[in-house]
């Protein structure tokens, strides 16, 4: 029977954690580089929901954003999966590589990116046909902010967040053996993460899909609600801030970062 030393298991865990954080850091570096090197004409195009991109490029950028924003908070679940699989390997049982779990997770977020593009494209068409003013478009963004804040308090959010906050609980209720099982588990966990955070990603559209400051704040929000001990207080605080900001935008559309974008000139 093969039995890996505990020090080796610890080293593997540290290596996986380092890799996840390195991928997130690389994604942030790419995003920052893209933001700093965008020419004025591109900046105007980026203010639109689809950023003037075709679906493959949009989804690729969406995945980079997801890795940057979600990998830090997904790390505990990925590491727990790896720990369970390492234990199976030490006991000589069948085990699967952790990357299969991560692959399932990425499948869900890739699909979410495609859905987001379809929604963004539909929003552009509707806005063009309705000839919305800058103020009216901003108020739609304010309504989305309010919706995101209220969603924080819904039972669905609570269920999804509970699964994301408890890796062991997820493992106990969703475990599947084999490679297909690992892929399925990653997809199921991706669904829970999506259910937890989808409206936080949606509000990036009115805030600016490549708004670095907004992305950084939302990354901290996602990490906080999944990691801090004061779960209820954190969720209520996030809800209050989102609703409050949404109300402010409804009253003063200029408070939305993208308000002036339609009038920008290259």
The full DSSP string for 173-238 is: HH---HHHHHHHHHHHHHHHHHHHHHHHHHTHHHH-TT-HHHHHHHHHHHHHHHH-S-HHHHHHHH
What DSSP string runs through 109-155? Answer: HHHHHHHHHHHHHHHHHHHHHHT--HHHHHHHHHHHHHHHHHHTTSH
Query: Looking up tokens 């933001």, which residue turns up?
Result: 35
CA atoms of 49 and 35, how far apart (whole Å)? 16
Contact residues for 257 (Cβ-Cβ < 8 A; gap 6+): 207, 208, 211, 214
CA atoms of 122 and 94, how far apart (whole Å)? 47
The reported pLDDT for the residue numbered 134 is 86
Contact residues for 47 (Cβ-Cβ < 8 A; gap 6+): 208, 258, 261, 262, 264
- Helix (H), strand (E), coil (C) string for 34-47: HHHHCCHHHHHHHC
pLDDT digits (tens, 9 = 90+) for 21-39: 999 999 999 888 876 665 5
CA atoms of 203 and 214, how far apart (whole Å)? 9
Residue-level pLDDT, tens digit, the chain, 266 residues: 344 455 566 788 888 889 999 999 999 998 888 766 655 555 555 557 788 788 999 999 999 999 999 999 999 999 999 989 888 888 877 888 899 999 999 999 999 999 999 999 998 888 888 888 889 989 999 999 999 999 999 999 999 999 999 899 899 898 998 999 999 999 999 999 999 999 999 999 999 888 889 999 999 999 999 988 888 899 999 999 999 999 999 999 999 988 864 444 44
pLDDT digits (tens, 9 = 90+) for 170-183: 998 989 989 999 99
The reported pLDDT for the residue numbered 35 is 66
CA atoms of 194 and 109, how far apart (whole Å)? 8
- Residue ranges per structural domain of the chain: 6-263
Specify whether the CB–CB gap between 65 and 31 falls below 8 A: yes
Helix axes 212-227, 55-90, angle to 10 degrees: 30
C-alpha pair distances (Å), 196 with each of 73, 153, 221, 251: 12, 11, 12, 28
CA atoms of 133 and 75, how far apart (whole Å)? 42
CA atoms of 70 and 82, how far apart (whole Å)? 18
What DSSP string runs through 242-262? Answer: HHHHHHHHHH-GGGSTTTTGG
């Amino acid at each position: 029977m093969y039995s890996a030393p505990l020090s080796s298991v610890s080293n593997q865990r540290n290596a996986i954690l380092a890799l996840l954080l390195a991928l997130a850091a690389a994604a942030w570096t790419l995003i920052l580089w893209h933001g700093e090197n965008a020419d004025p004409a591109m900046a105007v195009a980026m203010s639109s929901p689809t950023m003037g991109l075709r679906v493959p490029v949009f989804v690729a950028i969406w995945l980079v954003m997801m890795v940057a924003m979600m990998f830090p908070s997904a790390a505990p679940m990925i590491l727990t999966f790896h720990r369970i699989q390492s234990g199976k390997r030490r006991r000589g049982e069948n085990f699967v590589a952790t990357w299969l779990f991560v692959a399932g997770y990425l499948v869900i977020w890739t699909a979410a990116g495609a859905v987001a593009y379809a929604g963004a494209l539909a929003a552009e068409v509707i806005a063009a046909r309705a000839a919305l003013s800058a103020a009216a478009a901003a108020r739609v963004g304010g309504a989305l902010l309010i919706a995101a804040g209220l969603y924080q308090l819904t039972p669905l959010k609570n269920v999804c967040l509970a699964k994301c906050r408890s890796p062991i609980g997820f493992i106990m209720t969703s475990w599947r053996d084999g490679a297909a099982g690992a892929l399925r588990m990653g997809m199921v966990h991706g669904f829970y993460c999506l259910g937890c955070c989808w409206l936080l990603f949606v509000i990036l559209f009115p805030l600016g899909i490549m708004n670095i400051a907004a992305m950084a704040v939302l990354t901290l929000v996602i990490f906080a609600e999944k990691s801090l001990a004061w779960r209820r207080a954190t969720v209520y605080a996030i809800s209050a801030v989102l609703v409050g900001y949404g109300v402010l935008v409804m009253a003063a559309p200029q408070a939305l970062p993208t308000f002036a974008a339609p009038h920008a000139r290259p």
